[in-house]
Structure 1
């Protein structure tokens, strides 16, 4: 009951934020109220029907205005409008200053690094809790699930005139697969597989990667196929690779993985899940929500790993705003928004910051 009440209160907060954005742009109270009701109704439908696809796209649009850049744009825009009103000039100046302060704070390298470090190591807290509940969790697993979306670079597939998509899997002629920003997941998965084999285990490798929605060419193979080809080159047996190409989010992937494991009669055995450290907490809770025994295996860290790594030396440049720091802080905020989104839909645990 408490969790349900918390979700309802969060939905009311979301409705208020929608109204604030609409009233700022439409400047008409009744239009803003009608727009808020329509958007909030769509979100509510998604709350009761987790398969409702339109909600995820709407949430992404709304989330933009809660990220540092979007929030700064809204504050400055509303502030500029208030400057045109003689009675609200003081408020307008405060809003503009607030927008600039948002950018100044969130683009600070020191603050963004600390925020990212805390986010990336939230999975350790979750693992400690799980060890207290189930101290017999094993290090060996029956399957390794690779969250593969975005691990390869599609720009090479579409932007290189010398590239022939039909020759993707024929590596003898020089065709190549380029790794994306989170390509470490593929390398780490292969390393985990080889480690398990050395320990006399033969785990399956489930590659979860749906087709890219932003690509129109039908000749380009599904990303999961490219990842599987690369894993084979890295020593993973093709007979141990299973492709999961239907899940469009972590919740759907978890459900599909559970179905795959049930078909193989190994639904309750531990599985390793590989994802970027920034998303590991949400990943683990999404899999735990469908009653899967998860062993977190994060990679693709943006920050040092305490306490093993030495403390990061702080310099003057750590307090000079940069675009990279803003991008990193935006990822942190986006991940917490993702946690809120999953909690609202009943796909994960409550959010503790």
Structure 2
């Protein structure tokens, strides 16, 4: 019921905005082009919403995502402000736009804000780890959401190079060696924007082999590029092999809530196994102490804030699509 009401409110708001833009475009020939562009934009938005994995939909989705990110939002405000500067003067609301852009950039690139935001986003992950700390619950498979954990092998590079999220691979191998599941399903599809003959899951399999995970225990799932696709493909693999739909789900702490609800929505029992923590790591007895430098903006903090904001946008998108189990 909540999903339906949210969709209705969202649609009413979107229709109101589009109607306002339509009415303001006028009726002469010059504004007719604006109306056509508006209709074309609506078509692209619909395509991006219902087919985000298609080439056109993905391009539109990335553009919209850029506009909602702190850096993209600030750039758009600054570009609009520059159009209001002419003849040595500056028109309203340009000063307000510039100030807003600066405030957004300063706040979102401050480590103290980024760390606070990460703590809020990782609360579910910390609770999941605390709840399972007493015992090691077993499952029929470990699902490793590995998209983006490795970099492509280029001609001058013979080894698999890991990214900042590669801790997922190590954590999945540790869980396997503890005997918590007989298989690791590596879910990682084609690399985005890369013209390669191999998928990322194959490279992850090589890393797992170096971590003493036998090839017979690794199941490659090479088709998924989103969490929802990974859930669908993983469920099919479990059903085909006659395995119980109960999995240990390994992904980043920021993403674990959306991933768990998505897998649960498809009838799987999920044991969350989050990793890649950005703040306090619940696997270790540690705490974070702020220093003066944490109040000074830097690029690492901006990247972290952006990652968190992207996850909230993805969570809202999954909610609108009805891909999350009750509990959101």
TM bin, normalised by shorter chain, reads 0.7 to 0.9
Residue 146 (1) aligns with residue 122 (2): no
Residue 223 (1) aligns with residue 200 (2): yes
Residue 299 (1) aligns with residue 275 (2): yes
> How far apart, in 2, do the equivalents of 1:19 and 1:63 lie?
23
Seen in structure 2, the aligned counterparts of structure 1 residues 332 and 87 have a Cα distance that, compared at 3 Å, is same
Deviates more, 1:6-15 or 1:249-258: 6-15
> How far apart, in 1, do the equivalents of 2:275 and 2:128 lie?
16
Q: 2:212 aligns with which of 230, 235, 245?
A: 235
Seen in structure 2, the aligned counterparts of structure 1 residues 202 and 118 have a Cα distance that, compared at 3 Å, is closer
Structure 1 residue 258 displacement after superposition: 0.5
Q: Which residue of structure 1 aligns with residue 81 of structure 2? A: 79
Say whether the 8 Å CA contact 1:343–1:351 is kept in structure 2: no
Secondary structure of the corresponding residue to residue 95 of structure 2:
helix
Q: Which residue of structure 1 aligns with residue 6 of structure 2? A: 6
Residue 193 (1) aligns with residue 176 (2): yes
TM-score when normalising by structure 2: 0.84
Secondary structure of the corresponding residue to residue 318 of structure 1:
helix
Structure 1 residue 226 displacement after superposition: 1.7
Unaligned stretches of 5+ in structure 2? 23-29
> How far apart, in 1, do the equivalents of 2:137 and 2:242 lie?
20
Q: 1:96 aligns with which of 81, 95, 98?
A: 98
Structure 1 residue 349 displacement after superposition: 5.5
Structure 1 residue 191 displacement after superposition: 0.3
> How far apart, in 1, do the equivalents of 2:199 and 2:275 lie?
23
> How far apart, in 2, do the equivalents of 1:350 and 1:75 lie?
37
Q: Which residue of structure 2 aligns with residue 158 of structure 1? A: 154
The two structures, once aligned, show a CA RMSD in angstroms of: 3.4
Q: Which residue of structure 2 aligns with residue 57 of structure 1? A: 59
Seen in structure 2, the aligned counterparts of structure 1 residues 31 and 112 have a Cα distance that, compared at 3 Å, is farther
Deviations 1:212-248 (A, max 9, x none): 1322243xx3221121122122121211111001112
Unaligned stretches of 5+ in structure 1? 23-27, 132-136, 164-174
Q: Which residue of structure 1 aligns with residue 25 of structure 2? A: none
> How far apart, in 1, do the equivalents of 2:21 and 2:281 lie?
39
Q: Which residue of structure 2 aligns with residue 134 of structure 1? A: none
Structure 1 residue 343 displacement after superposition: 1.5
Structure 1 residue 7 displacement after superposition: 2.0
Structure 1 residue 322 displacement after superposition: 0.9
Secondary structure of the corresponding residue to residue 291 of structure 1:
coil
Deviations 1:122-176 (A, max 9, x none): 3456799x99xxxxx981111001111111122xx2262xx4xxxxxxxxxxx53
Structure 1 residue 66 displacement after superposition: 0.7
Deviates more, 1:289-298 or 1:47-56: 47-56
> How far apart, in 1, do the equivalents of 2:11 and 2:89 lie?
33
Secondary structure of the corresponding residue to residue 90 of structure 1:
coil
Residue 287 (1) aligns with residue 263 (2): yes
Q: Which residue of structure 2 aligns with residue 340 of structure 1? A: 316
